Amino acid sequence: MQIAVAGNPNTGKTTLFNRLTGLHVKVGNYAGVTVDRTDGTLDLPGLGTIGVYDLPGTYSLSARSEEEQIAISALAGVPPYAAPDVVLLVVDGTQLARNLYLALQVIELDLPVVLAVNMVDALEARGERLDLEAMERELGVPVVGISASRGLGLERLKAVLADVVNAPERGRPGWRWKPQEASLLEHIAAIAAVIPSTWTPGGPASPRRSDAFALWALLSIEEDDELKGIPESLRQVVRERHQLARAEDCDIHDQVIAGRFGWIDARSGTFLLDAAGDAHKTKRLTERIDALLLHPVLGFTIFLVAMGVVFQSLFSWADPLIGIIESGVGWLSAGIEGVLPANLFRDFLTQGLLAGVGSVVVFLPQILLLFLFLGIMEDTGYMARVAFLMDRVMKSLGLHGRAFVPMLTSFACAIPAVMATRTMERRRDRFLTMMVVPLMTCAARLPVYTLVIGALFPPTTVLGFLPVQGLLMIGMYLFSTIVALVCAAVLGRTLLKGPTVPLILELPPYRAPHWGTVMRSMWRKGHVFLSEAGRVILVCTIALWLLLSFPNRSDDPSVRLHESYAGQVGRTIEPTIAPLGFDWKIGVGLIGAFAAREVFVSTMGVVYGIGDEVDEESITLREKIRNETHADGRPVYTPLVGLSLLVFFALACQCMSTLAAVRRETATWRWPVFLFVYMTGLAWLASFTIYQGGLLLGFA
């Protein structure tokens, strides 16, 4: 036995799921995609324990992307999914008309349905209530009023679910709305005839489901959709039907949407009882807030302040926890060094295994904070306003409005930014955003910028008051942002070409966040990072330790590095990076930085025999860099070399953690490899242009 929990976003669906399952859940992925699937168990009267799973939130069963297709496939039992025994459909009682649109579509699928009307307490607070008996008569399915956040009505809901499991016909009333236009009925019949039999178990005995799938195909299958598993025969018939509709000047979408909402509008007004002025006051309050938050100037200002808080939190609020983690890893390393004799095994534990674990866990505070803030913004209804506000700017570059939050977040760290792309529905929009967020200047680049700028650019001023070093730092942020936007525009018109899809979303009423749901989502996503991306990061860190440590195990760190595999690779790639002004020692630093960009600083400390306990503020390392010369006496590092190095670090994908996160989100190595190749190639070309162009202009 399986119960599927479905509903619109922001209806309290996940809160109800957690209430029913008592948090006895497990999280995985739907087959073939990275969309989360949450499964649990539920005890029903007289039936015992049965399975329950939470479907992705959706406003309708129409779909254009593979991820959106999951909702209807998992709901209706399209292979490889099995149809649920009962659909528990959660609707928001304060937004009833909009929610009933999905309810009509689910009922059309001829599945047993139980309707849970959530937030009845919010209606009571403003002097209103719903006539649940009238709703049950009109919809033909059992209707139960609940408050998921307060746990009201859950026992009644369980009893009704048990009744429908025992008597499924009680929740299968048949279509409530029927298309009237003869041409539309003809289109539906033609497409229903070619619907795969595996989609409609029972074949001719399930005409309701065949018609429902025909209507879904008519509204969803387009030339530019991202749907998978659609037979070519079905696509061909849909194309023919669209051509006929255009020839008849018939808008199928308008007919279907108008038909469903016509049925809803004729009835939904009778469901609301005791309507008084409170409803209008609530509406006016929401409109007054939106007049401020959606204002072209004030709205942007408020949003930038809000994002500034998030941005600052990822920089500074996470620092104490990051420091505790780093101290803990250091304490464990010191403890191991105090117990074990100096040998290869001890070095592996401290420099390989523990360093690898530390490089994974150190990102966790930032990721948890990010998803805490995103959860709050989503639960309060503000995230929908952000997407609406930014869509005009982002779509001019081929990006979705929701891409702005991941791009801003990537100033702190690209890993949580990549994970934040999950808020976008379309696969193309998510992938395009993932391909450009690593170009933004993350916190890990700052130690490199600080070291290079402090060592090679004197603390002079421009125009007598503008500091050169500060201008360079600001310039690197602006440079990375401009390049990211240009790359988004190019990729969005070439490799990830796709139509500009209008941003259609609901602006839900403002609500206080449900903290239990927000916190559980935050911890769940943190666990996903540690278990998925963390494994790849750990393996790569250990591999880099092996490259930096073997084959020569000399006690002199600089000798060991020179003779190591990494040193050999550095000398091998020197002809490739020499046109950028880099020598083999910088090449070794670039290899070490692949574990994490900031590792470049400690790697350079080892290269110059200072040791790895240095940071970007180390005077000794800065002096070594300034004084380093070639065999002919020429300085290795000049301001031109420094600028070339800054540009290379701004653009190159020197972060295996980011690649691991992209691998996790795309479920393939193809996109991480493309990301690494195009960013590194872009970095090489930009650095080459800076260095060789500077030489041609006579700069040292």
Could you tell me the CATH number of the domain that includes residue 152?
Answer: 3.40.50.300
* 3-class secondary structure, 602: helix
The confidence score (pLDDT) of residue 277 equals: 39
Percent of the chain with pLDDT over 70: 87
> Do 215 and 126 lie in a common domain?
no
Residue 57 and residue 161 in one domain: yes
**Residue 623 has what pLDDT?**
81
* Model confidence band, residue 257 (pLDDT cutoffs 50, 70, 90): confident
**Confidence at 23, pLDDT banded by 50, 70, 90:** low
Return the exposure string of 95-128: e unless at least 16 CB atoms fall within 10 Å of the residue's CB, then b: bbebbbbbbbbbbbbbbbbbbbbbbbbbbeeeeb
Question: Taking 90 as the threshold, does the pLDDT of residue 62 lie above it?
Answer: no
Residue 401 has pLDDT above 80, yes or no: no
Mean pLDDT for the chain overall:
82
Residue at 325 is within a domain: no
Full residue range of the structural domain in which residue 21 is found = 2-171
Q: For residues 241 and 185, what is the distance between their CA atoms, to the nearest angstrom? A: 11
Highest mean predicted confidence (pLDDT) among 29-33, 246-250, 334-338, 344-348: 334-338
Task: Please state, in angstroms and as integers, the Cα–Cα distance from residue 654 to each residue in 590, 599, 641, following that order.
Answer: 7, 10, 18
Q: Do 38 and 137 lie in a common domain?
A: yes
Q: What amino acid occupies position 179?
A: P
Answer yes or no: is 71 within a domain.
yes
- Of residues 503 and 372, the one with the higher pLDDT is 372
- Amino acid in the structure at residue 413: C
Burial class (CB in 10 A: 0-12, 13-18, 19+), 311: middle
Q: How far is CA 688 from the centre of its chain?
A: 34
Count of domains in the chain? 2
Q: Are residues 10 and 70 in the same domain?
A: yes
Shared-domain flag, residues 151 and 201: no
Same domain, residue pair 199 and 95: no
Confidence of residue 113 (pLDDT cuts 50, 70, 90): very high
Looking at the domain assignment, is residue 577 inside a domain?
Answer: no
Domain ends where: 251, 273, 295?
A: 273
**β-pair type (36-44, 25-29):** antiparallel
Query: Mind spelling out the 3-state secondary structure of 335-404?
Result: HHHHHCCCCHHHHHHHHHHHHHHHHHHCCHHHHHHHHHHHHHHHHHCHHHHHHHHHHHHHHCCCCCHHHH
Please compute the mean of the pLDDT values over residues 374-382 and round it to a whole number.
Answer: 82
Residue range 349-377: mean pLDDT, rounded: 77
Residues 218, 142 share a domain: no
Q: Looking at the structure, tell me whether residues 188 and 157 fall in a common domain.
A: no
Decide if 321 is inside a domain: no
Q: Would residue 589 count as lying in a domain?
A: no
SS3 46: coil
d(CA 312, CA 326) in angstroms, rounded, equals 20
Domain identity same for 112 and 166: yes
Q: Are 371 and 526 in contact (CB under 8 A)?
A: yes
Q: State the CB neighbour count (10 A cutoff) for residue 444.
A: 23
pLDDT at residue 616 is higher than 60: no
Whether 682 has a pLDDT exceeding 90, the answer reads yes
92 and 233: one domain? no
From CA 465, how far away is CA 613, in angstroms rounded? 35
State the DSSP code for 461: E
CA distance 40 to 24: 6
List pLDDT tens digits, range 430-440.
Answer: 899 999 999 99
Q: What is the pLDDT at residue 137?
A: 92
Is the pTM value of this prediction over 0.85? no
Higher pLDDT, 29 or 160: 160
Same domain, 190 and 250: yes
The three-point CA angle 445-387-39 to 5° equals 85
145 falls within a domain: yes
**What local confidence, expressed as pLDDT, does residue 582 receive?**
92
Answer yes or no: is 188 within a domain.
yes
Task: Let me know if 89 is exposed, middle or buried by CB neighbors in 10 A (0-12, 13-18, 19+).
Answer: buried
Question: Is residue 77 domain-shared with residue 156, that is, in the same domain?
Answer: yes
pLDDT over 90 percentage in the chain? 23
Query: What pLDDT is attached to residue 528?
Result: 67
* Domain-embedded: residue 17: yes
Q: Is the pLDDT of residue 208 over 50?
A: yes
